[in-house]
Amino acid sequence: MTAKLVALKQVSADTDRVFELRVYHAVPGKVPELESRFRDTTSKLLAKHDLRVVGYWAPEGAPAWENTFVYIVAHASRDEAKKNWAAMLSDPEFQEVVKAEQASKTTEKVDVTYMRPTDFSAMK
């Protein structure tokens, strides 16, 4: 039995697709303002630059997450993600969003994690 376990190899999905988990830690009380920014402006800019958002979430019921805004972006590959984010960051419209964020300070920090789908994941 032990020999069989040692012989197992990691199986991965047949794709380079990755998902990007973005967790925004908002200034206390600023999640509604952050949601408005994404609803009205940022989501359109993400789409413009082929940054395909799977969904947006506002956690509920856990005090440690009360000032948090979460979204996931699907990318064809890490290289595609890098290219699309570079285009977004250099977009003059997005630069205006950045200036507005700096003026109103809605976010304390952003955690970014890239995730690969497992071979048994329903979403690949």
Mean pLDDT of 44-63: 92
* pTM (predicted TM-score): 0.83
Look at residue 14 in the predicted model and tell me its pLDDT.
53
Look at residue 74 in the predicted model and tell me its pLDDT.
97
**Is 101 part of a structural domain of the chain?**
yes
Q: How many separate domains does the chain show?
A: 1
Q: Report angle CA 113, 117, 118 to the nearest 5 degrees.
A: 125
**Is 26 part of a structural domain of the chain?**
yes
Q: CATH number of the domain at 67, please.
A: 3.30.70.100
**Is 121 part of a structural domain of the chain?**
no
**Is 67 part of a structural domain of the chain?**
yes
What is the spatial distance between Cα 72 and Cα 54, in angstroms, rounded to a whole number? Answer: 5
Range of the domain at 56: 16-115
**Is 48 part of a structural domain of the chain?**
yes
Number of other residues whose CB lies within 10 A of the CB of residue 106:
22
Look at residue 65 in the predicted model and tell me its pLDDT.
84
DSSP sequence for 22-83: EEEEEPTT-HHHHHHHIIIIIHHHHHHTT-EEEEEE---S-GGGTTEEEEEEEES-HHHHHH
Mean pLDDT of the chain: 88
Mean pLDDT of 35-46: 96
Look at residue 3 in the predicted model and tell me its pLDDT.
47
**Is 8 part of a structural domain of the chain?**
no
* Model pLDDT for residues 100-116, shown as the tens digit of each residue: 988 999 999 999 999 99
What is the spatial distance between Cα 51 and Cα 61, in angstroms, rounded to a whole number? Answer: 29
**Is 11 part of a structural domain of the chain?**
no
